[in-house]
């Protein structure tokens, strides 16, 4: 320890830019804004809805699988799945038993993992399988270099460490958030959410016949309009605002499977949500 | 859907949107149980305690041992100066926040392992997140367990709004353990008496704040605070752990007194 810089107060330091600094200090934080390296710039991340697609059965899932298979011929895909109705069920039982948010988050992984294996089975003829969450993140570049794509449970590995929601106890970071965060960290090319609606509406289209589709919007406008219901996890708004690499998401209707490959080509076929005005890139 | 197996809430959850405000409000009831109401979560500072070596760490190890039969302790570790080095290298190379979070995890794991060997003769295990299912057993048998403080977000770590350092580090990971288990207390062992109006290591005139609420702290809008800001943000929505205490672990006896419920440092409360 003799050659490490030592404070007069007895802390042993390693020489670095952040030595002795409080990482909570706002000025220090400002100095750490550096351009971000993209690990997988050619890969596309797609989140396939649990309730909206996987739970809808063969009539919906098979055409989506076919569309994905078509994309896999020319593109590398990282496909996340949602937990769907089984997650809703385990949430309701868990809440009734008095279990906290972190436990609900831990339980929900099993459902989206089940859906990842279902989708992985159907995509197996194309060389795409579900990867165990324990090795998925670390080995992802290897999988993407060796296979046309992978399937994973879309959830982030927050488990017991899930954040507390503002209201109630449902985990706020579910599979939309997990798939988005992965795409952002690996610097992927696009992020697409496959759901069962054409995109974002001004009101829930399921209960309101006159609901208007919003083709394009940014997060500033989204916050201002305060929609009661969104076709994606609300936390995605914050994640988009803080994103450095992935500054938009597209919501696409899986009932029109031809739109999936169009979206990956950069076409506007659903609702595109952009990060807000405070763009930093 | 006719289904007598489901509660009313269950029926709403199967059909409703999980992003709809009214439905979400209903999911707060019945209240969450306290999973480990007797446990105390103790976070051992990285830069503030462990990086000081034997002088700071040995007396704290002795104090932990003295408290083994009196208090149950879930001990989290900070990262410290090696994490600052790894973050500096990583930032220079343009590595994303998620990767920096992986690097920080490795350092807090080193610190957890070191404490683990110093407490090994008392049968106290170090557990990784995958082993948390065994935590209640170890706690009941041995009275304490050690874990690394970083939350296991790795590549899924959210970006901060300012800069690129992972915003949820070992204070946050330890705090969330205390909240999810409904623990009896959350004690941050650092090298300052608690919260000051500025960093007391840099500003001579910094004033000590013995007790404050999260809202009051936000009003003060301090440039630097003694715990990660995300702990304060998370405390707003907490169910169980609505107060934390920051203590000076370099003063012998403070940890024991804090475990006994005494006010020896700064207490921050949700309201």
* pLDDT tens-digit map of A81-135: 999 999 999 999 999 999 999 999 999 999 999 999 999 999 999 999 999 999 9
Alpha carbons B127 and B240: distance in angstroms, whole number: 23
Cβ atoms within 10 Å, residue B62: 13
Alpha carbons A172 and A175: distance in angstroms, whole number: 10
Q: What is the band of A24 on the pLDDT scale with cuts at 50, 70, 90?
A: confident
Q: How far is residue B126 from each of residues A134, B178, B217, measured CA to CA in Å?
A: 19, 17, 34
Read off the DSSP letter of residue A254. Answer: T
Q: Which of A98, A156, A228 sits opposite B153 (nearest CB)?
A: A156
B-chain CB neighbours of A158 within 8 Å are 151-153, 156
B-chain CB neighbours of A163 within 8 Å are 176, 234, 237
Alpha carbons A197 and A233: distance in angstroms, whole number: 15
Q: What is the band of B39 on the pLDDT scale with cuts at 50, 70, 90?
A: very high
CATH class of B32-269: alpha beta
Tokens (6 digits) for B78? 């900070």
Q: Which of B56, B159, B177 sits opposite A242 (nearest CB)?
A: B159
Q: Does the structure show a pLDDT above 70 at B1?
A: no
Q: What is the band of B185 on the pLDDT scale with cuts at 50, 70, 90?
A: very high
Q: Is A25 near chain B, with CB under 8 Å?
A: yes
Domains with residue ranges and CATH for chain A:
38-274 (3.40.1160.10)
Alpha carbons A11 and B48: distance in angstroms, whole number: 7
Residue in this structure with the two tokens 């959350």, named with its chain if needed: B186
State the pLDDT at residue A279: 45
Inter-chain CB proximity B10 and A89 less than 8 Å: yes
Alpha carbons A98 and B102: distance in angstroms, whole number: 32
Residues in chain B: 271
Inter-chain CB proximity A232 and B19 less than 8 Å: yes
Inter-chain CB proximity A137 and B155 less than 8 Å: yes
State the pLDDT at residue A12: 87
A-chain CB neighbours of B33 within 8 Å are 97-100
Q: Which of B29, B56, B165 sits opposite A32 (nearest CB)?
A: B165
- A252 Cβ partners below 8 Å, 6+ apart? A192, A193, A194, A195, A199, A259, A260, A263, A269, A270
Measured N-to-C along each axis, helices A85-96 and B8-15 cross at an angle, to the nearest 10 degrees, of 160
Q: Is A21 near chain B, with CB under 8 Å?
A: yes
Mutation site for A-interface testing, chosen from B31, B47, B105 by largest number of A Cβ within 10 Å:
B47
Q: Which of A19, A39, A182 sits opposite B156 (nearest CB)?
A: A182
A-chain CB neighbours of B239 within 8 Å are 100, 164, 169
CB A111, CB A93: distance < 8 Å: no
* Per-residue pLDDT tens over the stretch B113-163: 999 999 999 999 999 999 999 999 999 999 999 999 999 999 999 999 999
B-chain CB neighbours of A170 within 8 Å are 18, 24, 27
Q: Could you tell me how many CB contacts below 8 A there are between chain A and chain B?
A: 248
- B39 Cβ partners below 8 Å, 6+ apart? B72, B73, B74, B139, B181, B183, B184
* Per-residue pLDDT tens over the stretch A199-212: 999 998 888 889 99
Alpha carbons B246 and B241: distance in angstroms, whole number: 14
Instruction: Give the gyration radius of chain B's Cα atoms.
Output: 20
Maximum pairwise Cα distance, chain A: 74
State the pLDDT at residue A280: 46
CA A30 to chain centre: 26
Inter-chain CB proximity B81 and A13 less than 8 Å: yes
Inter-chain CB proximity A34 and B158 less than 8 Å: no
Q: What is the band of A7 on the pLDDT scale with cuts at 50, 70, 90?
A: low
Q: Which of B27, B98, B199 sits opposite A170 (nearest CB)?
A: B27
Alpha carbons B158 and A172: distance in angstroms, whole number: 13
Of all residues in chain B, the one with the smallest CA distance to A84 is B14
Inter-chain CB proximity B176 and A102 less than 8 Å: yes
Q: Does the structure show a pLDDT above 70 at B83?
A: yes
Of all residues in chain B, the one with the smallest CA distance to A138 is B155
Q: Where would I find the beta strands (DSSP E) of chain A?
A: 44-48, 77-81, 149-153, 190-195, 200-201, 213-214, 216-218, 248-253, 271-274
Mutation site for B-interface testing, chosen from A27, A31, A32 by largest number of B Cβ within 10 Å:
A32
CB B2, CB B14: distance < 8 Å: no
State the pLDDT at residue B261: 98
Of all residues in chain B, the one with the smallest CA distance to A137 is B155
Inter-chain CB proximity B52 and A11 less than 8 Å: yes
Mutation site for B-interface testing, chosen from A14, A30, A78, A205 by largest number of B Cβ within 10 Å:
A14
> What DSSP string describes chain B?
---TTS-HHHHHHHHS-TT-HHHHHHTT-SPPP-SSTTEEEEEEPTTTTGGGTHHHHHHHHHHHHHTTTT-EEEEEE---HHHHHHHHHHHHTT--HHHHHHHHHHHHHHHHHHHHHHTGGGTPPEE-GGGGGGHHHHHHHHSEEEEESS-TTGGGPPPPSSSSS-SS-HHHHHHHHHHHTT-SEEEEEESSSSEESS-TTT-TTPPEESEEEHHHHHHHT-S--SS-HHHHHHHHT-SS--EEEEEETTSTTHHHHHHTT---SEEEE--
Measured N-to-C along each axis, helices B97-118 and B81-92 cross at an angle, to the nearest 10 degrees, of 160
The C-alpha torsion from A263 through A265 and A267 to A272, rounded to 10°, is 50
Q: Is A164 near chain B, with CB under 8 Å?
A: yes
A-chain CB neighbours of B199 within 8 Å are 22, 25
A-chain CB neighbours of B157 within 8 Å are 181, 185
Instruction: Give the gyration radius of chain A's Cα atoms.
Output: 21
* Per-residue pLDDT tens over the stretch B190-246: 999 999 999 898 888 999 999 999 999 999 999 989 999 999 999 999 999 999 999
Mutation site for B-interface testing, chosen from A11, A104, A182, A201 by largest number of B Cβ within 10 Å:
A11
Inter-chain CB proximity B32 and A36 less than 8 Å: no
Q: Which of B82, B84, B239 sits opposite A21 (nearest CB)?
A: B84
Alpha carbons B74 and B143: distance in angstroms, whole number: 8
Distance between A225 CA and the closest CA of chain B, angstroms: 14
**CB-based burial, A130-147: b 16+ in 10 Å, e otherwise:** bbebeebbeebeebbeeb
Q: What is the ipTM of this complex?
A: 0.91
């Amino acid at each position: 320890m003799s050659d490490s810089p030592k404070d007069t107060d007895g802390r042993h330091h390693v020489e670095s830019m952040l030595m002795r600094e409080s990482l909570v200090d706002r000025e220090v934080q400002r100095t750490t804004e550096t351009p971000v390296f993209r690990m997988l710039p050619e890969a596309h991340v797609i989140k396939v809805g649990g309730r909206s697609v996987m739970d809808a059965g063969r009539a919906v899932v098979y055409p989506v699988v076919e569309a994905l298979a078509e994309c896999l011929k020319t593109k590398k895909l990282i496909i996340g799945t949602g937990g769907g109705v089984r997650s809703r069920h385990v949430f309701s039982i868990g809440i009734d038993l008095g279990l906290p948010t972190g436990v609900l988050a831990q339980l929900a992984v099993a459902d989206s993992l089940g859906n990842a294996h279902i989708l992985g089975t159907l995509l197996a003829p194309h060389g795409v399988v579900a990867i165990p969450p324990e090795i998925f993140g670390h080995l992802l570049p290897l999988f993407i270099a060796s296979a046309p794509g992978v399937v994973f449970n879309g959830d982030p590995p927050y488990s017991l460490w899930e954040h507390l929601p503002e209201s109630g106890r449902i985990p706020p970071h579910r599979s939309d958030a997990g798939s988005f965060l992965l795409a952002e960290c690996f610097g992927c090319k696009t992020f697409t959410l496959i759901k069962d609606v054409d995109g974002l509406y001004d009101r829930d289209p399921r209960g309101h016949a006159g609901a208007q589709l919003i083709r394009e919007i940014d997060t500033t406008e989204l916050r201002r309009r305060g929609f009661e219901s969104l076709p994606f996890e609300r936390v995605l708004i914050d994640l988009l605002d803080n994103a450095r690499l992935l500054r938009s998401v597209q919501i696409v209707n899986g009932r029109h499977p031809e739109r999936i490959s169009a979206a990956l080509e950069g076409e506007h076929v659903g609702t595109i949500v952009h990060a807000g005005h405070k763009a930093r890139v | 859907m006719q289904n007598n197996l489901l509660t009313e809430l269950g029926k709403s959850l199967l059909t409703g949107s999980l992003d709809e405000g009214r439905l979400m409000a209903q999911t707060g009831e019945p209240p969450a149980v306290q999973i480990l109401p007797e446990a105390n979560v103790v976070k051992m500072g990285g830069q503030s305690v462990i990086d000081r070596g034997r002088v700071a760490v040995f007396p704290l190890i002795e104090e932990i041992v003295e408290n083994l039969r009196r208090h149950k302790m879930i001990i989290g570790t900070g990262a410290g100066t090696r994490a600052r080095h790894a973050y500096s290298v990583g930032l220079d190379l343009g590595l994303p926040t998620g990767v920096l979070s992986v690097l920080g995890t490795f350092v807090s794991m080193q610190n957890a392992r070191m404490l683990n060997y110093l407490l090994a003769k008392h049968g106290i295990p170090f557990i990784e997140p995958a082993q948390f299912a065994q935590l209640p057993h170890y706690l009941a048998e041995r009275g304490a367990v050690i874990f690394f403080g970083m939350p296991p977000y790795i590549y899924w770590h959210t970006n901060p709004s300012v800069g690129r350092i992972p915003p949820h580090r070992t204070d946050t990971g330890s705090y969330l353990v205390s909240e999810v288990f409904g623990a009896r207390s959350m004690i941050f062992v650092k090298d300052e008496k608690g919260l000051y109006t500025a960093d007391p290591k840099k500003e001579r005139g910094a004033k000590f704040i013995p007790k404050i609420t999260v809202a009051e702290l936000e009003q003060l809008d301090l440039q630097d605070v003694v715990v990660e800001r995300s702990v304060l943000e998370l405390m707003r929505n907490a169910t169980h752990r609505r107060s934390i205490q920051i203590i000076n672990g370099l003063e012998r006896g403070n940890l024991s007194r804090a475990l006994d419920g005494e006010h020896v440092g700064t207490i921050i409360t949700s309201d």
